[in-house]
Amino acid sequence: MTTDHFAGDPRTNHERMLAGDLYIADDPTIAAAQKKAVRTAARFAAAYADDPDAGQAVLAELFGGVGEGTHVRAPVHVDYGDRITVGARTFVNMGLTALDVAPITIGDDCQIGPHVQLLTPTHPVEAQPRRDKLEAAKPIVIGDNVWLGGGVIVCPGVTIGENSVVGAGSVVTKDVPPNVVAVGNPARVIREII
C-alpha cells in the first residue's frame, strides 16, 4: 500500500476518516477501534440473550447515543458503534448491520426491520486506490417516524425523510423525501403518505 495519496496532508489516517476524506482502511489504530466495537457488540448480544433490558445498558456503551424508550434487538454488527445515534421510542429488529465509518443518525419513533443494512463506506472506482485499501464514507440520516422494512439496504450519503416507509428488500441509493412510500432496487417513490 502507498501513502502517496496523502503527500503534504499532516492529518492522521484516523483524522482523515473522521473528516469523511479518503483514508487507509486497514490502519492499525482503526483496526483496534473496530475490535473494541466487535467485543462490545458481543457483550450486548450475550446480555440481551439473558435479559433484553440489561442488553440495552450495554448497547448504550456501544452506540454514541440511544434515546429513552428505544429498544434494539441483538445481534448488531457495527464498524465502531460510537458514530451511531438512535432517537427515542425507536425499535430496531435483529440483525442490524450499521457500518458507521461516517455518522448514522436514526430519528425518534422509527421502526427498523430485521437485517437492515446502513452502509456509510465508499470506495474509489479506480483500481489502484482500491488496491491501496483507500476508502471514505458519507453519513446516513433516517428521519423521525421512518419505517424500514426487513432487509432494506441504505447506501452512503442517503437521507430518508420523516414519516416515510421503505419496502422490504429495497436498496436506497439516493435521498427519499418525507411522507412517501419507496420500494425496489433502486428504491423509487411509489406514492405519497397523507
Cis peptide before 177 (omega within 30 of 0): no
- For residue 4, name the pLDDT band (cuts at 50, 70, 90): low
Does residue 116 lie in a domain region?
Answer: yes
In a domain, 177, yes or no: yes
Other Cβ atoms closer than 10 A to 135: 18
Task: Please give the average per-residue pLDDT across 78-92, as a whole number.
Answer: 97
In this prediction, residue 3 carries a pLDDT of 54
Instruction: Give the number of other Cβ atoms within 10 Å of residue 177's Cβ.
Output: 15
1 in a structural domain: no
* Backbone angle region of 8, left / alpha / beta, with phi > 0 → left and psi within -120 to 50 → alpha: left
Q: Which three cell numbers stand for residue 163?
A: 414519516
State the total domains in the chain: 1
pLDDT of residue 1: 44
Note the pTM of the prediction, 2 decimals: 0.94
Range of the domain at 44: 8-192
What is the identity of the amino acid at 184?
G
First-last CA distance in the chain: 53
Reported as a pLDDT band with limits 50, 70 and 90, residue 158 is very high
Active-site residues, by number, are 123
Residue 46 belongs to a domain: yes
* 186 vs 27 pLDDT, higher one: 186
Q: What is the DSSP letter of 176?
A: B
Distances (CA, A) of 78 to 57, 71, 87, 187: 17, 17, 18, 24
Residue 2 domain-assigned (yes or no):
no
| CATH number of the structural domain spanning residue 176 | 2.160.10.10
Query: What is the average pLDDT across 12-23?
Result: 88
Higher pLDDT, 46 or 15: 46
